[in-house]
């Protein structure tokens, strides 16, 4: 198969990059007073400003040509039709069906999946309402006040991120806690905050065999049984499962009536849209959970129906390809200026890096390109006092997404209004500073306002200058609510998919996760023996043997 690097658009982009590389972004703004008008998109109240990028109209044309040469339209259709584009696992990637508000049939192997999807949503609605209004009670008859979600990866990152982001919409008398790390400190610290008689555990594992999740679930189970004098009947009132493995769920002691199903075409990093989102539904209420789904569905339709040059996920994806493959900028910062979105960077780390961190193509050939950036970030303004120094003056150019609501979630008053104005001013300042920079002459004018002062601190001029020309996208919306969050997450999902199409990789498997688990299963038995281990390489053997000596 012809490599994307052999395409006409790719070769033209290589040449175009050489011509635009030396053009400073401040010059692009000077040349085009209407640059914002030409390089931003709107969706409902959402504004995506991509004007602070090293691009012009010709850049965008070539990038859209590249997307077409990668057959993006065909792959987009395959995704939404439920074709098994995750070919290494022989699965569809139909997370879009989970939020299909139009309810039109979506077929897999000749079966419409929507009836099953809707049945699970209805079951989630009843259960969440029962917990929220107190009809679901613990074993001793007390209402639930604490929800502990036990999962890992997508079964933790998604629900935890959404519940934190939308805390102002949460039930005032329910406290969500998320446990993922197999480190015993995680479950222990969670249980310290709980009363066995008022705690509900949601154990989220597709197979119900995930090592970390089941270790934590077993500890929680024993903690509950210790309180109820070993009475296993108490499990039914305090544990529910999100899984596909009814047999193992039953063996654990959970009534299979309290098991919420999802399917093998739901990838882990897309699973918050499925029953894995049960903790979201309980905490926020099913009406708000459905609004989250509705927001994502709106972007699904936008992505599916909108021409490429006006398509938000496509534009963001192709600008990312531009930087990764033509400028060799191999990291990307997610910088939400909203404390509720502080878990968005780690959530998008998984969504992006687990999807596109591949070195083998769909044609089983080694990929010759960088596939995906290192994704990282922190909420503003905390990040400004941590790593922005490197973003502004470091040797590495780090494209960044700045994200902010125009209004705080919390009830406005003069004090809250001041906080948000300070936050917004920092948001604006950072993107402008990264783009504009500050020349040495501009520094001199600031430092030496009079002729008499000129030159006294000349040695500091270069230190206080900024090269600028550092790209960023600004994503702004009215308020962080369930529908807006759904839109935002779906934009990133489809962005990642588009990039995978261009790089000719399968964005929906994650075999790299499995190899470490395989070796861990070989190491674990060795830790329970007293003899010296000789089964592995010298480093591994010595690390294991030192562990044995000291435990």
Residues labelled catalytic: 354, 385, 517
Sign for the pseudo-dihedral over CA of 151, 80, 494, 489: negative
How far CA 23 is from CA of 53, 280, 392, 398, 543, in Å, comes to 11, 47, 18, 18, 52
Sign for the pseudo-dihedral over CA of 29, 32, 34, 35: negative
Distance of alpha carbon 205 from alpha carbon 177, whole angstroms: 17
Distance of alpha carbon 159 from alpha carbon 164, whole angstroms: 9
Other C-beta atoms within 10 Å of 134: how many? 12
Q: What H or E segment, with its residue span, contains residue 544?
A: helix 538-549
Which of these, 308, 326, 306, lies nearest to 69 by C-alpha position? 308
Distance of alpha carbon 385 from alpha carbon 367, whole angstroms: 38
Give the phi and the psi of residue 239 in degrees, each rounded to 5: -130, 135
Give the phi and the psi of residue 288 in degrees, each rounded to 5: -70, -35
Q: Answer for the pair 39, 53: CB distance below 8 angstroms, yes or no.
A: yes
Return the percent helix, strand and coil in the chain, to nearest 5: 55, 10, 35
Distance of alpha carbon 40 from alpha carbon 47, whole angstroms: 7
Query: DSSP 3-state assignment of 398?
Result: coil
HSE-CB at 441 with a 13 A cutoff on CA atoms is 0
Give the phi and the psi of residue 137 in degrees, each rounded to 5: -120, 155
């Amino acid at each position: 198969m012809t490599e994307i690097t052999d395409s006409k658009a790719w070769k033209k982009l290589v040449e175009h990059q050489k011509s635009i590389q030396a053009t400073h972004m401040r010059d692009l703004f000077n040349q085009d007073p209407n640059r914002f008008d030409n390089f931003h998109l709107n969706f409902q109240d959402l504004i995506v400003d991509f004007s602070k990028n090293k691009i012009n109209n010709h850049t965008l044309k070539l990038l859209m040509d590249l997307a077409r040469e990668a057959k993006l339209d065909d792959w987009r259709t395959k995704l939404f039709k439920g074709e098994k584009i995750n070919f290494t696992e022989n699965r569809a990637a139909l997370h879009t069906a989970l939020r299909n508000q139009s309810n039109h049939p979506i077929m897999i192997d000749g079966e419409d999946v929507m009836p099953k999807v809707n049945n699970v949503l209805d079951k989630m609605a009843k259960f969440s309402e029962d917990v929220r209004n107190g009809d679901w009670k613990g074993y001793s008859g007390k209402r639930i006040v604490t929800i502990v979600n036990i999962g890992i990866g997508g079964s933790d990152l998604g629900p935890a991120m959404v519940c934190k982001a939308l805390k102002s919409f949460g039930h005032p008398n329910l406290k969500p806690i998320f446990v993922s790390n197999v480190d015993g400190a995680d479950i222990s610290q969670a249980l310290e905050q709980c009363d066995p008689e008022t705690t509900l555990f949601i154990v989220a594992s597709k197979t119900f065999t995930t090592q970390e999740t089941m270790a934590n679930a077993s500890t929680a189970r024993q903690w509950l049984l210790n309180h109820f004098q070993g009475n296993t009947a108490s499990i039914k009132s305090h544990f529910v499962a999100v899984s596909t493995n009814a047999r193992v769920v039953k063996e654990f002691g959970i009534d299979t009536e309290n098991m919420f199903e999802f399917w093998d075409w739901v990838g882990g990093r897309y699973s918050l849209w499925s029953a894995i989102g049960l903790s979201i539904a309980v905490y926020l209420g099913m009406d708000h959970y459905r609004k989250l789904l509705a927001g994502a569905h709106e972007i699904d339709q936008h992505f599916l129906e909108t021409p490429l040059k006006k398509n938000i996920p496509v534009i963001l994806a192709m600008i990312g390809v531009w930087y990764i493959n033509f400028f060799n900028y191999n990291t990307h910062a997610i910088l939400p200026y909203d404390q509720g979105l502080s878990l968005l960077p780690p959530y998008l780390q998984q969504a992006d890096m687990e999807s596109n961190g591949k070195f083998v193509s769909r044609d089983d050939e080694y990929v010759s390109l960088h596939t995906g950036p290192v994704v990282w970030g922190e909420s503003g303004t905390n990040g400004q006092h941590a790593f922005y120094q490197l973003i502004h003056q470091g040797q590495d150019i780090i494209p960044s997404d700045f994200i902010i609501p125009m209004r705080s979630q919390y009830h406005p008053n003069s004090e809250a209004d001041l906080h948000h104005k300070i936050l917004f001013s920092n948001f604006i300042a950072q993107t402008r500073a990264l783009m504009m920079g500050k020349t040495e002459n501009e520094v001199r004018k600031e430092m030496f306002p009079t002729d008499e002062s000129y030159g006294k601190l000349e040695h500091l001029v270069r230190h206080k200058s900024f090269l600028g020309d550092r790209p960023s996208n600004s994503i702004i919306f009215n308020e962080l609510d369930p529908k807006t969050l759904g839109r935002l997450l779906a934009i990133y999902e489809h962005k990642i998919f588009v990039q995978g199409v261009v790089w000719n990789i399968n964005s929906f498997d994650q075999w790299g996760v499995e190899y470490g688990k395989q070796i861990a299963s070989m190491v674990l038995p060795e830790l329970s023996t007293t003899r010296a281990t000789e089964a592995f390489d010298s480093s591994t053997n010595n690390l294991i043997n030192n562990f044995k000596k000291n435990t």
